[in-house]
Chain A
């Protein structure tokens, strides 16, 4: 490739992270360190019932016995679990009933992030937001309107208090607290997160969205999301996330559990933009997340869509257990890595029921000296008659110092299954770039167009407003890629 395009592509590293500010607010922060006391402290802070404390302690005991996995396609960074504070909350957090009671600093923080908590300012009531700041939920909008439909959308903490029977019934049923090392850690110390319950037959009248913000230093964020779609219901849920720029790495170990009962559908979209670290690879979020859904009832459907542009390391495999007959699992992903970022992400589809179908579309984009891996598992159980899977994983390379890897696994125990796998690797060609610039298009915009075109199939899965945001995010993340 010619020198100019080389420069163009090397400069990919330069663009500043736009959400790197911090909020100066009085915080209630737990002492660093992980022990039974830490777990008891968090549980007490949240005013939790005994059964939940026991559940957490079981997770902690399990975590302490576990060792770090070694199969991932990157060197596991040293995380000193004793050097992290596991709880950070704005001080004197009131029971928020109106916006007047929220600290104006917090309102401003979310406004800066483009998340208005003022319902009047929201997109004409299209989206309800739960805003989580460090360890606690700050505000959930549109609760009353949702209440009319019987939809429960609140912070996890509130759900434990107000709907303990639902939480107890479903918590840990998809991702047990012993599932993996970070899921165990999360189960022990999770502080907040979102809870959603859609009653039978209800088509949730608006998009639900949680916005996660890490602010405090030396803390980890461990939120837990639980979404239950009862029979014949539908919900579309979106999460977004950002964090300040800091030289130290911060750990984000979340767990998301989705449960779709008979004829229910859950659509879960993520636009992940945690701080990715600077161009030398200093700082950034370790995004080690367990996301899994279960299509428990017949004819149910779970669809994951993720646009991953942030984090220094992204490590997650949103999965679907296809238990109900005729159930459908989908995974659409765009993962963009640049500078020194690492992504090891993909999906797992477990076919148990008859006529279950799954689809995986993964689009990796690597630039700079980043490493981008797709890892996926399609498992067809003995009873999964006529199960079908289609997997497509594409990699796009920008420049010649980055890496793209694919690790697809298939385990089929039923001969009637149909499995398709397609994979491509391509490079943003000098020819494509030249073609667009010859038409008068700025080289940076040209790269943005090519990348957005490449990711289109996935972006199309996002709810309208977020698709536009995600497109911008992809383009912005690549700004400076061309000069």
Chain B
């Protein structure tokens, strides 16, 4: 589904991604871990098309479509969803109205007529329940005055509503208490299917106890330096990143 080859990207002329490769197939959940500054959030931003990030080399395709060619809105319409690390507040714009616009823009892109109001509301109710999102929040202005946890849960609610092919969760677990984490994880687990895929960007192994990934990758210094299964996350939790950093740094200096 997602294929990233030798992706290199920089921000303000500073290279952050230095040749990243990743293959994600439908039905899979990949976790990307790594120390601060390794390029995890940059990867999310580059895939979603944030302008400040410049791709200098490499390719990224979603079901064969060149993502890097597309505008952010077209990437979204092709089925890429980013759950933001810091969701913004947009005062006065109702959550529901925003979602209705988003749903219908995506439908229009696919040549479908706008969703009937009744059907839309039915879906809202259904998904609210699925991801345990408070109906009161759904009717408020977009993220305005939401707590950190509520904002993150709203991301998952939006994810449920938009039914993307590929969802990237950028540190969705950060700042969540254990109950909120469980709710978010349950939501994601309900939404997992054979037809979609997830990339979980996280610092902590804790999230992976709730959402069990098929693969775990360690991102360091702009590249994936180790891949494995969920056991790798446990190992990282136990030993930290230093042992990996050392071996990578040694390798790199040897290569020079």
Task: State yes or no: do A and B come from one complex.
Answer: yes
Report A's interface with B, CB cutoff 8 A.
2-5, 429-432, 434-443, 445, 449-450, 452-457
Chain B contacts for A449, CB-based, 8 A: 90, 93, 97-98, 101
A4 to B109, CA, bound (A): 21
Give Cα A346–Cα B176 distance, bound, in whole angstroms: 44
- Interface-facing stretch out of B48-56, B111-119, B221-229: B48-56
Within the complex, what minimum Cβ distance (angstroms) separates A307 from chain B?
A: 15
**Which B residues, 169 to 186, have Cβ-Cβ distances below 8 Å to chain A?**
none
Residue of A nearest to B45 (CB): A434
Tell me if B254 is interfacial: C-beta within 8 Å of chain A: no
Contacts of A5 in B (CB 8 A): 51
Complexed CA–CA distance, A442 and B73 (Å): 6
| B90 & A445 in contact (Cβ 8 Å cutoff) | no
Shortest A247–chain B CB gap in Å is: 37
B131 within 8 A of A: no
Question: CB distance B77 to A438 under 8 Å?
Answer: no
State A434–B71 Cα separation when bound (angstroms): 11
Q: Which one, A440, A450, A457, contacts B73 given CB within 8 A?
A: A440
Q: Is B88 a contact of A435 with CB atoms below 8 Å?
A: yes
Q: Which residue of A lies closest to B74 (CB)?
A: A440
Chain B contact residues, CB within 8 Å of chain A: 48-52, 71-73, 75-77, 81-82, 84, 87-88, 90-93, 97-99, 101-102, 105-106, 109, 141-142, 158, 162
Most B-side CB within 10 Å, residue of A432, A435, A439: A439
Residues of A with C-beta under 8 A to B105:
440-442, 445
If A2-B51, A438-B82 touch, whether A443 touches B73 (CB-CB below 8 Å) is yes
Q: How distant is the Cα of A48 from the Cα of B158 in the complex, in angstroms?
A: 65
What are 9 A-B residue pairs whose CB atoms fall within 8 Å in the complex? A432-B88, A432-B90, A439-B81, A439-B102, A440-B77, A440-B102, A440-B105, A441-B98, A441-B101
Report the separation of the CA atoms of residues A48 and B49 in the bound assembly, to the nearest whole angstrom.
Answer: 68
Residues of A close to B92: CB separation below 8 A = 452-457
Q: Least Cβ distance of A434 to chain B in Å?
A: 6
- List the A side residues contacting B142 at CB < 8 Å: 453
Q: Is the interface of A mostly helix, strand, loop or mixed?
A: helix
> Shortest beta-carbon distance, A377 to chain B, in Å?
27
Task: Tell which of A2, A5, A435, A443 has the most Cβ of chain B within 10 Å.
Answer: A435
State whether B106 touches A440 (Cβ < 8 A): yes
Return A231 CB to nearest CB of chain B, in Å. Answer: 37
* One of B76, B81, B88 near A437 (C-beta < 8 A): B76
User: Which residues on B sit within 8 Å (CB–CB) of A3?
Assistant: 51
By a CB distance below 8 angstroms, the chain B residues around A442 are 73, 105
Please name all residues of chain B whose beta carbon is closer than 8 Å to the beta carbon of A432 when the two chains form the complex.
Answer: 88, 90
Whole-angstrom distance between the alpha carbons of A432 and B141 in the complex? Answer: 13
Query: How far apart are the CA atoms of A56 and B141 in the complex, in Å?
Result: 52
CB-nearest residue of chain A to B79: A440
The distance in angstroms between the C-alpha atoms of A437 and B82, with both chains bound, is: 11
* A-chain residues with CB within 8 Å of residue B91 when the two chains form the complex: 453-454
- Within the complex, the shortest CB–CB distance from B100 to chain A, in Å, comes to 11
Shortest A7–chain B CB gap in Å is 10
Q: Which of A449, A454, A457 has the most CB of B within 10 A?
A: A449
**Residues on the B chain within 8 Å of A434, using CB:** 48, 50-51, 72
A454 to B51, CA, bound (A): 24
Residue of B nearest to A456 (CB): B92
Give chain A nearest CB distance to B174 CB in angstroms. Answer: 17
Q: In the assembly, what is the distance between CA of A445 and CA of B101, in Å?
A: 9
Q: How far is the CB of A240 from chain B (nearest CB, A)?
A: 23
Take A2-B51, A2-B52, A5-B51 as given contacts and tell me if A437 and B90 are in contact as well, using a CB distance cutoff of 8 Å.
no
B161 nearest in chain A by CB position: A439
Residues of A contacting B93 in the complex (Cβ-Cβ under 8 angstroms): 449-450, 452-453
Report the nearest A residue to B72, measured CB to CB: A437
**Chain B minimum-CB-distance residue to A483:** B71
- Tell me if A435 and B76 are in contact (CB < 8 A): no
Give, as a whole number of angstroms, the nearest-CB distance from A476 to chain B: 16
11 more contacts with CB within 8 A, not counting A436-B102, A453-B141, are A2-B52, A435-B88, A437-B71, A438-B76, A438-B81, A440-B73, A441-B101, A441-B105, A453-B91, A454-B91, A457-B92
Selected contact of A435 from candidates B52, B71, B87, B162, CB within 8 Å: B87
Least distance between A426 CB and chain B CB atoms (Å) = 9
Q: How far, in whole Å, are A445 and B76 apart by their CA atoms in the complex?
A: 15
Contact A439 B162 (CB under 8 A): yes
Chain B residues near A440 (CB-CB < 8 A): 73, 76-77, 102, 105-106, 109, 162
CB neighbours (8 Å) of B72 from chain A are: 434, 437-438
Known: A443-B73, A449-B101, A453-B141. Contact between A436 and B90, CB under 8 A? yes
- Tell me whether A441 and B73 are in contact (CB under 8 A): yes
Smallest CB gap from A428: residue in B: B90
A-side contacts of B48, CB under 8 Å? 434, 438
Contact B102 A435 (CB under 8 A): no
A2-B52, A445-B105 given as contacts; is B90 within 8 A of A439 (CB)?
no
A2–B53 alpha-carbon span in the complex (Å): 9
A457 to B144 Cα, complex, angstroms = 14
Q: Which residue of B lies closest to A459 (CB)?
A: B92
Q: Is the CB of A450 within 8 A of B51?
A: no
B103: nearest chain-A partner, CB-CB: A440
A134 CA to B101 CA, complexed, in Å? 40
The 7 A-B pairs at the shortest CB distance, nearest first, are namely A453-B92, A2-B51, A453-B93, A456-B92, A440-B76, A439-B102, A440-B106
Report A-chain residues with C-beta under 8 Å of the C-beta of B106.
440
Complex Cα gap A306–B101 (Å): 27
Residue of A nearest to B92 (CB): A453
Question: In the complex, which residues of chain B have a beta carbon less than 8 angstroms from the beta carbon of A438?
Answer: 48-49, 72-73, 75-76, 81-82, 84
Q: Once the chains are docked, how many angstroms separate the CA of A282 from the CA of B84? A: 44
- In the complex the two chains form, is A435's CB within 8 Å of B101's CB? no
Give the residues in chain B near A430, CB-CB below 8 Å.
51-52
Q: What's the minimum C-beta distance from B228 to chain A, rounded to whole angstroms?
A: 30
